[in-house]
């Protein structure tokens, strides 16, 4: 039986190779996974042209996934460095990489990335439009925007962030209800500017069916971008954000009618006490579609440490229903991240995702922690390092400060409670002088 997309296959009762692989990874019955895809509650972003892909699922009942942003800009245009970052991100078990390149040989970089990456690849075509077309923003036509989207789809991009939900009505609301940080979404601000400069409707909203045609043809998952996401905690959960979310819910249903897979993007910056409510609103207004969040960052005063502010918010968001975390690095708001920034961001996001998976009862999540606890009780440092989320750093710390006895560390020494309790429970004597 033929099918066009993973969702189309699921609705027809077909179990695809991608579904089988994801079900195995997730310890889920493949028929259950298929049903969740048919309902739109799980997506498997898998462009038909991405042949190196090791597919992953995003959504209800699955492990929380993380995404890594990279790509060149006019100020930092080292393609080799960005490819090195991509390889490192894959080594660190990131499930997705978003190429946010906006300058130079963007297609060359994108194709190289897709050729070797087993991680799913996402892009924001709006970023690429100005550079690729070499035109002023106001002079780009609607047809040219769609040409950029089609080129990304042909190259094998698995999911695209497209800001379809910011229309002229929402733009007017933003102007009437002043925000502290206005629009902080780069793609959203570009579309807002295009609409204002041309006094025309957002082409991705106005010609949404045309976008769905392309997504259906290549099985590209739409990540419905949140142009009105809050860029500071003061702007969170305001009228503009919620109005756009309602529109995204309507667009989700239209995509599902065409068997196009959908994710919803969310905040942003947000106080701790608003996170759970926002996750509930998204799931309700967008009919259970997978939710992809940037952070949320829970305070605005920690530049240089925003991988931590993001991990705090991300853990709470995922525990309350978010399915996909976009990493944030220590360089957020300051500069393009380097390799070490990227690593710190990935590890922080993976910790947040895993903490949420424990809270959500994802199969296998607690087993990892229990294995680490057993190694600690056994005072087995090699095993602890092997099980660490970042074995390299754990090993470096261990080797940097040698204890008197190998089965202790330099904090507790012979007073190590794990070592002493192990001896006592085995009926052995103690010598802690």
Provide, for the chain, the percentages of residues in helix, strand and coil under a 3-state DSSP scheme, each rounded to the nearest 5. Answer: 50, 10, 40
Domain boundary among 331, 360, 389: 360
Binding-site residues for substrate, in ranges, read: 69, 98, 127, 163, 185-187, 226-229, 265, 292
Helix or strand or coil: residue 144? helix
Q: How far apart are CA 214 and CA 309, in angstroms?
A: 37
Residue 33 lies in a domain: no
Same domain assignment for residues 273 and 381: no
pLDDT at position 229: 95
Contact 48, 219 (CB under 8 A): yes
For the chain, the domain total comes to 2
Residue 6 lies in a domain: no
CATH number, domain with residue 157:
3.20.20.540
Residue 105 has pLDDT above 70, yes or no: yes
Same domain assignment for residues 355 and 370: no
Q: What is the largest CA-CA distance in the chain?
A: 83
Residue 249 has pLDDT above 70, yes or no: yes
User: Could you tell me what percent of the chain has a pLDDT over 90?
Assistant: 85
Binding-site residues for Zn(2+), in ranges, read: 269, 333
Identify the DSSP state of 15.
-
- pLDDT-based confidence at 74, cuts 50/70/90? confident
User: Could you tell me what percent of the chain has a pLDDT over 70?
Assistant: 100
pLDDT, tens digit, for every residue of 120-142? 999 999 988 887 788 899 999 99
pLDDT at position 286: 98
- pLDDT-based confidence at 295, cuts 50/70/90? very high
Residue 40 has pLDDT above 90, yes or no: yes
- pLDDT-based confidence at 433, cuts 50/70/90? low
> Helix 339-360 to helix 306-319 angle, to the nearest 10 degrees?
20
Residue 302 lies in a domain: yes
Same domain assignment for residues 354 and 225: yes
Same domain assignment for residues 79 and 161: yes
Domain boundary among 344, 360, 376: 360
pLDDT, tens digit, for every residue of 142-201? 999 999 999 999 999 999 999 999 999 999 999 999 999 999 999 999 999 999 999 999
Q: What's the angle, vertex CA 162, arms to CA 166 and CA 120, rounded to 5? A: 150
Same domain assignment for residues 246 and 154: yes
Binding-site residues, in ranges, read: 69, 98, 127, 163, 185-187, 226-229, 265, 269, 292, 333, 409, 412, 416
Q: How far apart are CA 361 and CA 110, in angstroms?
A: 36
Residue 76 has pLDDT above 80, yes or no: no
Residue 432 has pLDDT above 90, yes or no: no
Same domain assignment for residues 249 and 384: no
pLDDT at position 378: 92
Domain boundary among 343, 360, 377: 360
Binding-site residues for [4Fe-4S] cluster, in ranges, read: 409, 412, 416
The whole domain housing 147 covers 47-360
Radius of gyration of the chain (CA): 23
Same domain assignment for residues 256 and 182: yes
Same domain assignment for residues 371 and 277: no
Same domain assignment for residues 178 and 293: yes
Residue 14 lies in a domain: no
Q: b vs e for 87-121, b when ≥16 Cβ sit within 10 Å of the residue's Cβ?
A: ebbbebebbbbbbbbbbbebeebbebbbeebebbb
């Amino acid at each position: 039986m033929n099918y066009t997309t993973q969702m189309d296959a699921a609705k027809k009762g077909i179990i695809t190779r991608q579904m089988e692989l994801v079900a195995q990874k997730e310890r889920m019955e493949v028929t259950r996974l298929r049903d969740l895809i048919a309902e739109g509650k799980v997506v498997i972003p898998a462009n038909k042209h991405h042949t190196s892909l090791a597919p992953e699922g995003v959504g209800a009942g699955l492990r929380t996934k993380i995404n890594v942003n990279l790509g060149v800009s006019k100020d930092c245009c080292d393609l080799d460095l960005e490819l090195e970052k991509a390889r490192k991100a894959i080594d660190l078990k990131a499930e997705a990489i978003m190429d946010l390149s906006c300058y130079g040989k963007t297609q060359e970089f994108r194709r190289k990335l897709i050729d070797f990456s087993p991680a799913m690849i996402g892009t924001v075509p709006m970023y690429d439009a100005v550079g690729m077309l070499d035109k002023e923003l106001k002079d780009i036509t609607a047809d040219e925007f769609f040409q950029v989207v089609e080129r990304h789809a042909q190259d094998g991009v698995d999911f695209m962030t497209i800001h379809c939900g910011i229309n002229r009505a929402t733009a007017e609301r933003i102007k009437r209800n002043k925000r502290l940080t206005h629009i902080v979404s780069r793609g959203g601000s570009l579309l807002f500017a295009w609409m204002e400069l041309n006094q025309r409707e957002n082409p991705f909203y106005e010609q949404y069916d045309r976008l769905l045609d392309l997504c259906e043809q290549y099985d590209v998952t739409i990540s419905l971008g949140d142009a009105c996401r809050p860029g500071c905690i003061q702007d969170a959960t305001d009228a503009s954000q919620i109005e756009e979310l309602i529109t995204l819910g309507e667009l989700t249903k239209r995509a599902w009618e065409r068997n196009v897979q959908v994710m919803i993007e969310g905040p942003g910056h947000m106080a701790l006490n608003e996170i759970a409510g926002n996750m509930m609103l998204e799931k309700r207004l967008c009919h259970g579609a997978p939710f992809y969040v940037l952070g949320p960052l829970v305070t605005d005063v920690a530049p240089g440490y925003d991988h931590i502010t993001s991990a705090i918010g991300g853990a709470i968001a995922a525990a309350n229903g978010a399915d996909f975390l976009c990493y944030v690095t220590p360089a957020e708001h300051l500069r393009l991240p380097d390799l070490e920034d990227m690593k710190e961001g990935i590890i922080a996001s993976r910790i947040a995702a895993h903490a949420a998976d424990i809270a959500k009862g994802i199969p296998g999540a607690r087993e990892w922690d229990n294995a680490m606890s057993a190694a600690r009780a056994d005072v087995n440092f090699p095993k602890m390092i092997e099980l660490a989320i970042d074995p390299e750093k754990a090993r470096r710390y261990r080797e940097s400060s040698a204890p008197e006895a190998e089965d202790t560390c330099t904090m507790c020494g012979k007073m190590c409670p794990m070592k002493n309790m192990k001896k006592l429970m085995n009926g052995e004597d103690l010598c802690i002088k």
